[in-house]
Amino acid sequence: MSLSEMLGKYEDAKPQDYLDYNYYEFIADGTVKHVYKYKDKTDIYTSKGTWTYRETPYQDYSISSLDVKMETSSFPLQFVVYEDRVREGGGKEYFRK
């Protein structure tokens, strides 16, 4: 996959029952948005950050990932990219929307 094919919106594969939606959007300018909404509230919560692309050689192929630094957190995130989804370092999956 090319980097441009990896960008876009990825929706939570198994959203919590108290959320209407939860997604990450990776934008070509190097920014990322995390957006979610609780079912019992009208507010939409959005946080922003930056991403960098990384390829890690593994056997006869390489693993593509997006390293994320959110403005609201001091903990970095890592998303491994597959064809139709990303998997966050903690194991949570998000599917391309």
CATH number at 44 reads 2.40.128
Tokens in use for 93? 């999956």
Range of the domain at 51: 3-96
| pTM for this entry | 0.86
| CA torsion angle 88 94 96 97 (round to 10) | -140
The DSSP result for 5-17, as a single string, is HH-EEEEESS--T
Neighbours of 60 (CB within 10 A): 5
Number of folded domains in the chain? 1
Give the pLDDT score at 63. 86
pLDDT tens sequence for the chain (97 residues): 678 888 999 999 888 899 999 999 999 999 999 999 999 999 999 999 999 998 888 888 888 899 999 998 889 999 998 878 899 988 899 999 8
- Contact between residue 95 and residue 14 where contact means Cβ atoms under 8 Å apart: no
